[in-house]
Structure 1
């Protein structure tokens, strides 16, 4: 059953959407394949948060939706790429809470209706296509949608891109504290960095030295984005240069599949039966592989890979599906 952690009376309201704590599981075969000791590598299963297919956005949405309900919202409005995990889980949260959902997505209809988009429709969300814009540039389009809703008498709540705001990042400060209870000796948590809130929350709870972020290409300045969120959340300065952030897995851009990412997807699947996605967790795993290769992570250190979910996105990514199907056809 979804649970809600008690908070002080003056704290922001939190909606109960997920199931906590998520499991922390050993990954001995993957660890040995990377050159680590069998007990070195563990996987924090935030793909198993429950609602809507699971994923890290649920931790953020508990706070964001709680605030929306407290403000009397009737409709959630948010933005993202066509295969946005945040958009999919906002749609699921709206269904759970009895709120309408409008998703303002980059691009145009017709390219693909599979993966996360199919689930957006199943959850009853309305999609507004914003054309060839992305990230923060989607904000004005979402504002226009919200204004039209107000004119119709609705009360829209605008949720940030990726669910990443100081309020949303509270969810991952909580996750960091949850991890300390499960693995107090952890040395490094490896996470994908999209809109920045997940890493910012973890840094707030664990400190910048214990969090390794892998940039996925969703924002132009990942260090500045994470630094600003973490500083505002903690109330202390978190300098961009103090962050452990890998920038080497973006390739040609956010939606592109690279050979190291496909290799990482295959390795995780064939050693642990662990399914990753080609945009976020696949890049994070490729970053972990590179960190072991260059000595940033070594044997004898308790390393946690944060599985932030995203499985539906695999089925909306033609290049990743083609690569997986080609391996099947070849009998690899």
Structure 2
């Protein structure tokens, strides 16, 4: 696919590694061969998948003459951290609107990403109640900044619009090229599914290059049917932007909603187990909100025999390990 038609910054430093996870595979019974795509190793402060999306979103902002970026997320948002990171690198002001999805969960002096917002020089942080209209809150901030003579640009939560999802269409093509070079046949790909840009972009990219590898999303915030509709809607828009022939069919979007637990960012026993298994056996750090719950879903599907014997399954690691330090009590209790 041709991405040169879109403005794009050069944040990536080549493909992220695809690694085998033999120890974890053995611990889980040895009947499925697990691999991992290390998007946690992407550049940007402490890494993570949003860098792929921000290559396109921040480039679009700069082409439009923006000097200020506004974005939103939860109180420990990895997306907000990486937006602040690349804004700092580009000399752009960054303003955050944080949604307190769990009442009382925002703590100004918290560790994890909260601390990194401070280090990265975020200009303002506004905290709004869970369920707020986040786009309206960001528009309100944009009007304030315009009145002060600034030129703001709004990036939606997770950078999950068709511009940002383009970054994961790129990732799908990158992944297929790597697998061809490695002569590695992958039977299934598992990705976290939250704001939908990663999941939608991967499906669009896989369709665009005729990769023919099924992709399943592990929900981190919503029920299966709701999430599948959100992902499909964004995938259709992204496919249109990239002129993918035939588009994306509804049946191409598969989500699992069994691993969310009591709600977004709220810990589950399965998440804690997954984080510990990845750390203890593969020396890989997950995060407690996205990759931890997605890995819990992967582990459960392996244990239940959902993947045929001797399948090769690739897990997309979206990063986010700084958030672990805000969940110390969860892991030490």
Give the TM-score, by structure 2 length: 0.89
1:113 aligns with 2:110: yes
Q: 1:329 maps to which residue? A: none
1:156 maps to 2:161? no
Question: Per the alignment, do residues 19 and 299 of structure 1 end up closer, same or farther by CA in structure 2, a change over 3 Å counting?
Answer: farther
**1:223 equivalenced with 2:232 (yes/no):** no
Q: CA deviation at 1:294?
A: 2.7
Does 2:33 correspond to 1:36? no
Partner of 2:92: 99
Structure 1 residues 148-227: aligned runs within 5 Å: 148-184=144-180, 185-207=185-207, 210-217=214-221, 221-227=226-232
Q: CA deviation at 1:218?
A: 6.1
Q: Write out per-residue CA displacement over residues 79-104 of structure 1, whole angstroms, 9 at most, x where no aligned residue.
A: 11010000000000101101000011
Does residue 1:89 correspond to 2:82, yes or no?
A: yes
Task: Rate the CA distance shift 1:249–1:229 in 2: closer, same or farther, 3 A.
Answer: same
Q: Which residue of 2 aligns with 1:12?
A: 6
Deviations 1:6-59, CA, capped at 9 Å, x for gaps: 943xx1210112322101111001111122357x21110000001111000000
* Cα distance, 1:323 vs structure 2: 4.0
| Partner SS for 2:89 | helix
- Equivalents in 1 of 2:108, 2:88: separation in Å? 26
Over 3 Å counting, the alpha-carbon distance change for 1:315 and 1:240 in structure 2 is: farther
Secondary structure in structure 1 of the residue aligned to 2:72: strand
- Judging changes above 3 Å, is the alpha-carbon distance between structure 1 residues 308 and 287 closer, same or farther for their aligned structure 2 residues? same
| Cα gap change, 1:215 to 1:92, in 2 (>3 Å) | same
Q: Is the aligned partner of 1:271 residue 2:281? A: yes
**Cα distance, 1:262 vs. partner?**
0.8
TM-score, length basis structure 1:
0.89
Give the C-alpha shift of residue 112 in structure 1: 4.9
SS of aligned partner of 2:118: helix
In 1, distance between residues paired with 2:199 and 2:20? 22
**Structure 2: segments with no counterpart, 5+ residues:** 241-245
Confirm whether residue 49 of structure 1 aligns to residue 46 of structure 2: no
For the 8 Å contact 1:30–1:272, the answer to whether it is kept is: yes
Matched residue, 1:325: 332
- The number of equivalent residue pairs is 315
